[in-house]
Amino acid sequence: MKRTLVLAVDRDDDFGVKGKVSTPVIGIEGCISAANSLGIADPEDSDLNALYAAISTCMDLQEQGSDATIALICGDEKVGHKSDLALVSELEMVLDEVKPDNVVLIGDGAEDEYIYPIISSRAHVDSVKKVFVKQAPNIEGSLYVITKMLSERNKRKRFIAPIGALIFIASLFFLIPDLVLFLTSQDLSELPAIFRDLIPLIVGLALLLYAYDFSDRWNRFMHYFKDNILARSTMMIMITLAIGIFIISCIVCYYEVKDTYYDSWFIALLSFINMIIWPGMICLIIYIFGTILYEYQEAMAIRLSNLFDCFSVASFGVMVTGLMDLALFYIGPGDDPMIGIIEIVLGIVISMVSSFFKRQYKKNAIAG
């Protein structure tokens, strides 16, 4: 008698993430237990119905006298290459244990069908069944299903984020020309067009913020900020100092560029970037110094790797300054290009020396 494997597939691992089920699961009793675990965690998940359908199919085949067994395999929460590799690994474990002659595939029809060709290449598939949850055929029911689906973080990133990014980028193409025209002509008649383009920009930004759980991230940041301020964290004080210095430097450099005549706005932009490089590097060094002080207060120890990071930041600043000096020399009024070349070479040398001593420090730390 041929042995039939009824295979339930969960590509995004809802059973593991929500129900804490360890897969693969083989046998009716194990699959019923897995279904109960997911049903308690999320009764409305469509994968739950797919597994129940697989259990029902297996029991029907057994009643008909077939040698049938059931198995549940799951992928990974990060749907894609990683989840498919996990499914293939679990599939091979099931095939080695059950050794079926044919396979009946059961899935919820949303994402699992992408793995079907991979399964059919490793086993003889007789039937594929897609399970859909019955809903009332009206707009309210459809909106309910869409709302529940988009309440899951992975699905929001997969479906809403691309739409929000597309709307946001497309609106920028319309907004930027109107904004430039208004700034150059100071014509108030351009304001309606600007506000018209702002609406889809805000909608796209809102979709992106919703897709990536900005509110939750913001709440976590505020809790972190509040805890560190109340604890008078030295690191938070240094971060605040660095941000303040950078903002003041940007304002000072902006007015310096504004009061200077340049042939084009592009040269003015490069000059502004060139002026702001070292204030930015200094702010990074202040942040690293805050990390050193914080670790010293907590563990009474100083990691030399943090000091090496200061040299890495300095070498990066020297190289970027050299590149900007060369660019300004060739497209606008700038200093001798030899200065830029020397700065680039000096930055590379500092970086190589810092990397050498950092590697030596790590070797000594491991040996010790």
Domain with residues 3-130, CATH architecture: 3-Layer(aba) Sandwich (3.40)
* pLDDT tens sequence across 125-148: 877 776 655 544 444 445 545 665
Element (H, E) at 128: strand 125-130
Residue type, 301: A
Token pair in block for residue 300:
């009474």
Q: Which of 26, 35, 31, 101 is nearest to 66 (CA)?
A: 101
Supply the angle between the helices 234-258 and 265-299 in degrees, to the nearest 10: 170
What secondary structure does DSSP assign to 37-89, as a single string? Answer: HHHHH-TT-HHHHHHHHHHHHHHHHHHTT-EEEEEEEE--SSTTHHHHHHHHH
Report the Cα 147 to chain-centroid distance in Å: 22
CA distance 349 to 216: 44
Buried residues in 306-328 as b, exposed as e (16+ CB within 10 A): ebbbbbbbbbbbbbbbbbbbbbb
Token pair in block for residue 328:
């300004």
Residue 109's pLDDT is: 62
* pLDDT tens sequence across 186-230: 777 777 888 888 888 899 888 888 888 787 777 887 777 676 665
Q: Which of 131, 174, 160 is nearest to 6 (CA)?
A: 131
Buried residues in 29-59 as b, exposed as e (16+ CB within 10 A): ebbeebbebbbebbeebbbbbbbbbbbebbe
Low-confidence ranges of the chain (pLDDT < 70): 1, 109-114, 130-152, 225, 227-233, 332-335, 361-368
Task: Please count the helices (runs of H) and the strands (runs of E) in the chain.
Answer: 14, 5
CA distance 89 to 73: 9
Q: Which of 9, 49, 197 is nearest to 133 (CA)?
A: 49
Token pair 């000594």: residue: 364
Token pair in block for residue 123:
């086993």
> For residues 109 and 131, is the Cβ–Cβ distance under 8 A?
yes
Token pair in block for residue 311:
């040299």
- Phi-psi region at 20: left, alpha or beta (left = phi > 0; alpha = psi -120 to 50): left
Residue 287's pLDDT is: 87
Collapse the DSSP code of 157 into the 3-class scheme (helix H, G, I; strand E, B; otherwise coil) and give the result.
helix
CA distance 286 to 290: 6
> For residues 318 and 274, is the Cβ–Cβ distance under 8 A?
no
Q: Measure the N-to-C terminal CA separation of the chain; round to a whole number of Å.
A: 65
For residue 71, list its beta bridge partners: 7, 26
Q: Which of 179, 28, 8 is nearest to 90 (CA)?
A: 8
Q: What stretch(es) of the chain map to CATH 3.40.50?
A: 3-130
Residue 133's pLDDT is: 56
